[in-house]
Structure 1
């Protein structure tokens, strides 16, 4: 499932290519026909990402809420304007299998979390932004043909956005959107960071639930998924099984501040980069390969980078939890 940085990056893509334009909306798959009819012919006015959800507002206060879930994807095609802060030369955003290559000094991660480079000026292209990866291809036919089960197509004069396989795709009123956001924990890129720290700390300190589970609870804190959960806890040297209320307050605050630091890095680079102070060669390796950019995530059975103890992996509420039993004792 894409983590918070990916959703913020996708929202930036909408801001550059869809917001401020009138869209023709359709549901080729047929599962969002009525909703598409409401959106059709309206101007997209703003986009907002909170936690792992994206909200797109159209004129007359019509809101579209999208949660990609595990398998959702947005495909952009046409004249796609993408800069270095929101996409890579291979065009894909999200997280998946990690295969990296370096081309012309651009660090490309075929897992798609990339990017230090820009695809340059608007060009006729197709860009997938999701959990899965297909890369960036030249696109000549316009409008582009419908490929696969497209829940929603948003089409401007020059750009097409196709949505496939989301967990949620719904039209909601402003009050309903506000209610959804109110149930989410603080997001460092949306909420006041200091206020967010107080909310997060107060919530964690009253919970008997293990801190490793609390960090995955979007009602406690927004945007953290499996990767960031493992890495934040390791960086804090915090045992994931400690009840939230028993975690020292300074550690809880440190986790929030670390999240507020790592999330913007993820948005700007496209990588869930969690290792600090790397030399240039190590940094390039880390940007190209996931295995070189994390402390414990996906390192089950390997020695801890700090102490050499074997990194453990266990199931926690149906998700894989990676941690070092020595550093995080």
Structure 2
């Protein structure tokens, strides 16, 4: 999670993208908890690869330590000071790379329920997509083993896209191959990539299988993050989760589920929902809000919002509908 999340600006200018809440919980918290649920076995350690301390400061570290502790695991914090690719990022945590491990990129959310194939040396999570030419995909053999990784194929290879979550029965094997990638300065696009380590493992006879997810939700930019918020709210509502805090104050206001409404929120003369997240301490006076993601302590009045994303401590009074407003902004 060392990237700066430039496609999600202005929201990622002040909050690291993996810590931006979706449906009331930071992206990385949801991802780690969902992976833990899928694995169905104890987790000893969670290693987080962060960027520089100026952006990923002590408050971020504390949040991640609490996340790991909540799952009965130790948190290990590593830093990737330069954007040198996924392979380089993983090797920043090489002290933790031994035994069975999952590696995941912290800008995606999933819904899945399956058992890991015990015959596989590694598993790559995939999702069937309509336009495989826009993704990295896996090539399979007759035994349903992965034989090749192909990036944005011009001709059809398969429609199983790699979503950025991997399981290794012995992650030390990946570490050894990535060390060779670094030592031999093997780069693609000026970066060291995890795929080069995986391809070397395949060449050494390691068996890779696929793990399929039911849902794959991106948080790369404002529009898809708002869409992911809506989809996640729908899943949580279907699961029977309590999404509206008991401290919410309503005055001539209506909530149309599914919505996440955080603590100390007041709604007056307004309709909120469906598919809205309102963080802690928000105040809404007049208007309507639907299909939107609003973080904490925002003050919104007489607005009609749809497909909007609003940051923390924002004051907004206006006629615009599909807005993207960063933290501490004032429009009135």
With structure 2 as the length reference, what TM-score do the two structures score? 0.26
Higher relative contact order (CA 8 A, sep 6+): 1
Structure with the larger strand share: 2
